Structure formats: structure tokens, C-alpha cells
């Protein structure tokens, strides 16, 4: 396992990390989470990603219980969470849903700390941009969160380059804590935001990246090539928005081609996709997911594939993906 600085901060993250979207509470209880967190830590993973909205707050509770049971020294691990959507069951209160206003953010961090049983969160994200709240208000609220010791670093998720730069400029102008990281989707077929839109931000403001969906919601594992299997993520009712993409003939044809590259390298499609994502030096950490120990172990095998991604192999991969890249 290698470790990379989070942008220009001094925080170092493992190149692969472990997330909890979809899995925690829905597929993974506190006992299973404890087992997988322990195995991840033994393999060198030190960063564990979460969000307030995952499983309506239950994901944070599962992770918090698992971490408490493991009794890790607080210095040894990094935990994140994200704010924007609020929690199910909060009613129609417009100040607690789909917002990044000061009121919501000030209270949201307290809820996450309580659910995770922590005194502070290492890394907090604004989970989506909020077009209805001035960015300046959000920047002040996030900086105040850090100033009060409830978080150590903050960043954004799925913000445009202009929005990230605007937030950074406001913080710079007012001597506030700046955003140090963006968490975008990034995989073999979805690259342009990371590789093109954000290109100037890496040098200009020192932006770090913790990327999500390296397997394109499971499509890059190859398990959807012959339809959507029962019991898979794609078959879940709350994942219906993935159906069209998972059944896309063009994408699946490219994935069949990518399988030949994986075979030549002696690895699985999953490991190839993860290795490709972490091969980008701009990516501080690639967030992986697992509902079973076997999946976690298999994902970690991607580290052995990274050195095999020669310029020739990468060029071959690009040729297969080029017509479909977004």
C-alpha cells in the first residue's frame, strides 16, 4: 500500500480506501463491518469514507460501532462524512434538506459526531453544490466547523471546477480554511471532469482527489454483461437509475474488450479497473466498496496490477474506451 498526500495538505491517505455507500446497514452490519475494517487496516488502508445520507444515517452508526469495537488509536485512521441531502424522516423543513446553509451544516456535524461516536471528523465534504445558498455562506460555515474543532479538513463532492475555485478564492480572501479535496466519480468510462475540467486546479490551488465509483457501480466487474442478476446492486429498487447504463450495449461491448486486457495481465476486470484509477497520480485515494470479505480481499489484489500498467497497456485501454468516455 502506498500513501499520498491529500492535495497540498499534510494528510496522507492510503491509495485504496474503503467506503460504505449502499453496503453499510443494507448489506453489512456492525459485526461484518468490524471484520472488514480490521482486514482493511491490516492491509494498510487508513481512510474510511461515509456520508450522513447513506442509509439515512445508519451507515455512520454501523461504522461508528465497528470502530469503537476495534479500539483503534484515533491517530491511526481517517474518517470522512458528507453533508447536503439531510436525513429521511426530517419532514419538509427546507432548512434541513438539499442545502448547504449555515444552519443545516452547523447542526449536521453534531449529528454525525453522535452517530459515529467521535469527537471530530477528519474530513468533511459538501456532498453536492447548493445553487440556492451563496458559496460564501457555505465556505464560512465549513471553515467555522474546523475552527471549532469538529472537523480537520473540508472539501467538496461533484462540484464544478468554477465552484471549487470560487470557494477557494473566498477562503483565501477572508483567511478562512480552504477546501483541500474534491470527491468526483472517476472510472475508465467517466474521466473528463478529473482529467480535463479540474486540470488547472491541481497546480493552481493544490486540489486533492478521493474518487468514487471506480467500478462504475459494478459494471466494470463484468457481472452485468449478460443482464442484471438477482441480488446484485443493479437489481435493487433504489438503484433503478442504473438500469439503462448497465444494459447499455456499447458500454458492455467495451467491457468485453477490456476483459481481454485483464486476461493478458493475469487479473480480473475488477482489479484492472481499480488499478487504472489509482494509477493516476492526481488521485489521492480510490474509494472501494465491499459487502463481503472476499470482495475486499479481491479488490486489494489490484495493487499488484498497478506496476503492469505500462504506457502500451494504457494506450490499448484508451483505444477500447475512447468512443464512450464522458
Q: Which residues are catalytic?
A: 54
The C-alpha angle 277, 281, 284, rounded to 5 degrees, equals: 75
d(CA 218, CA 236): 13
Alpha helices for 153-268 (secondary structure H): 161-174, 192, 199-204, 243-246, 249-265
3-state helix, strand, coil in the chain (%, to 5): 50, 15, 35
* Helix, strand, or coil (residue 209): strand
Burial annotation 72-99 (CB, 10 A radius, 16+ → b, else e):
eeeeebbbbbbbbbbeeeeeeeeebbeb
Instruction: Name the CA radius of gyration of the chain, rounded.
Output: 19
Amino acid at each position: 500500500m502506498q500513501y499520498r498526500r491529500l492535495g497540498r495538505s499534510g494528510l496522507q491517505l492510503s491509495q485504496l480506501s474503503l467506503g460504505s455507500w449502499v453496503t453499510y446497514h443494507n448489506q453489512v452490519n456492525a459485526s461484518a463491518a468490524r471484520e472488514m475494517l480490521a482486514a482493511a487496516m491490516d492491509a494498510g488502508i487508513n481512510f474510511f469514507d461515509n456520508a450522513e445520507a447513506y442509509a439515512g444515517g445508519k451507515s455512520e452508526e454501523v461504522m461508528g460501532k465497528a470502530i469503537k469495537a476495534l479500539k483503534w488509536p484515533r491517530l491511526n485512521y481517517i474518517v470522512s462524512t458528507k453533508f447536503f441531502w439531510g436525513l429521511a424522516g426530517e419532514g419538509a423543513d427546507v432548512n434541513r434538506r438539499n442545502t448547504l446553509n449555515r444552519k443545516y451544516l452547523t447542526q449536521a456535524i453534531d449529528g454525525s459526531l453522535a452517530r459515529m461516536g467521535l469527537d471530530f471528523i477528519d474530513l468533511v465534504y459538501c456532498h453536492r453544490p447548493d445553487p440556492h445558498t451563496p458559496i460564501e455562506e457555505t465556505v464560512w460555515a465549513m471553515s467555522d466547523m474546523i475552527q471549532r474543532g469538529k472537523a480537520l479538513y473540508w472539501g467538496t463532492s461533484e462540484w464544478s471546477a468554477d465552484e471549487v475555485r470560487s470557494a477557494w478564492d473566498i477562503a483565501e480572501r477572508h483567511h478562512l480554511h480552504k477546501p483541500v479535496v474534491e470527491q468526483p466519480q472517476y472510472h475508465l468510462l467517466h474521466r473528463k471532469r478529473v482529467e480535463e475540467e479540474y486540470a488547472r486546479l491541481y497546480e493552481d490551488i493544490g486540489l486533492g482527489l478521493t474518487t468514487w465509483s471506480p467500478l462504475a457501480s459494478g459494471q466494470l466487474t463484468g457481472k452485468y454483461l449478460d443482464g442484471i442478476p438477482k441480488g446484485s446492486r443493479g437489481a435493487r429498487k433504489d438503484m433503478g437509475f442504473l438500469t439503462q447504463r448497465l444494459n447499455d450495449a456499447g458500454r458492455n461491448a467495451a467491457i468485453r474488450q477490456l476483459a481481454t486486457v485483464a486476461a493478458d495481465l493475469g487479473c480480473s476486470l475488477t482489479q484492472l479497473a481499480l488499478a487504472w484509477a489509482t494509477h493516476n497520480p492526481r488521485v489521492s485515494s480510490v474509494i472501494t466498496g465491499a459487502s463481503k470479505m472476499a470482495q475486499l480481499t479481491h479488490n486489494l489484489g489490484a495493487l499488484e496490477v498497478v506496476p503492469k500498467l505500462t504506457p502500451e497497456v494504457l494506450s490499448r485501454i484508451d483505444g477500447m474506451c475512447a468512443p464512450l468516455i464522458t
